[in-house]
């Protein structure tokens, strides 16, 4: 599916609006987990890196492989670390009140 410039811009604009609306509602209480979660989601860039490293290239194959591989390592560490720490933080948030442990 090829995207033209205008379609890409539409997608970006709509996503930005959704982002503003959704993230505005996040309580300041959770701003740290918010940042670590968006960081993990942002590491979806790994998809681009995987294709770069794995696809067949007529020329520049070595460059693509080296840079792609390093990029995968960087992004994967964000995915794993980001989800782990977000969940760890969220587990710590407990409500007070009628003794529920």
Provide, rounded to whole angstroms, the least separation between the CB of residue 37 and another protein.
Answer: 6
Q: Shortest Cβ distance from residue 3 to another protein (Å)? A: 4
Which residues 18-47 are close enough to bind another protein by CB under 8 A?
18-20, 22-47
CB of 6 to another protein, least distance (A): 10
Residue 100 lies near another protein (rule: CB under 8 A): no
Cβ neighbours for 2, distance < 8 A, ≥ 6 positions apart: none
Spatial separation of the C-alpha atoms in residues 62 and 56, rounded to whole Å: 11
60: left (phi over 0), alpha (psi -120 to 50) or beta: left
**By the rule CB under 8 A, 1 interacts with another protein:** yes
């Amino acid at each position: 599916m090829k995207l033209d410039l205008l379609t890409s811009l539409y997608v970006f604009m709509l996503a930005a609006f959704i982002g503003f609306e959704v993230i505005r509602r996040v309580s300041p209480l959770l701003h740290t987990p918010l940042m670590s979660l968006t960081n993990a989601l942002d590491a979806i860039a790994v998809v681009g890196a995987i294709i770069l490293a794995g696809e067949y290239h007529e020329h520049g194959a070595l460059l693509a492989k080296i840079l792609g591989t390093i990029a995968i390592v960087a992004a994967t560490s964000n995915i794993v670390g980001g989800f782990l720490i977000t969940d760890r933080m969220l587990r710590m948030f407990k409500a007070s009140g009628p003794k529920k442990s």
